[in-house]
């Protein structure tokens, strides 16, 4: 169970899946849509999601080859849950930032967290 949650809850997987549920999408479109992802991470993410049965990769016999990815029914079901989670995160983003700021302003520095105590 944890391996599946780790895969679908990964930083890049959510963005890729959300884009692929909108219909067939090409690599370059995903690269533009998923902010901050490298080509290598996108390639790995696509392979893993395809392996897990969440994406279908179709290669069209054109020159150059046209490759598209589309979400499976299982991925579309998952995205309904992910949409709720992302909406929750958006609603509570400001409160989370305030809580972090309050915590950081009162908590003593912890060793190993890059806090400099002077030279």
Per-residue pLDDT tens digits for 85-114? 889 999 999 999 999 999 999 978 776 565
**Per-residue confidence (pLDDT) for residue 119, from 0 to 100:** 45
* C-alpha R_g of the chain: 19
Cβ partners under 8 Å of residue 82, min gap 6: 8, 14, 17, 18
- Tokens 């279908």 appear where? 56
Per-residue pLDDT tens digits for 5-20? 877 888 899 999 999 9
Estimate the crossing angle of helix 11-20 against helix 73-91, to 10 degrees.
120
**Per-residue confidence (pLDDT) for residue 96, from 0 to 100:** 96
Per-residue pLDDT tens digits for 22-71? 999 999 999 999 999 999 999 999 999 999 999 999 999 999 889 999 99
């Amino acid at each position: 169970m944890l391996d599946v949650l780790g895969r679908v809850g990964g930083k890049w997987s959510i963005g890729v899946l959300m884009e692929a549920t909108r219909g067939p999408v090409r690599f370059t479109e995903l690269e533009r849509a998923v902010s901050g992802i490298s080509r290598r991470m996108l390639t790995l993410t696509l392979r893993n999601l395809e392996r897990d049965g969440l994406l279908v990769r179709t290669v069209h016999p054109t020159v150059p080859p046209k490759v598209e990815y589309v979400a499976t029914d299982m991925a579309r079901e998952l995205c309904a849950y992910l949409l709720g989670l992302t909406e929750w995160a958006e609603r509570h983003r400001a409160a989370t930032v305030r809580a972090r700021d309050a915590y950081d302003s009162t908590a003593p520095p912890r060793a190993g967290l890059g806090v400099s105590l002077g030279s």
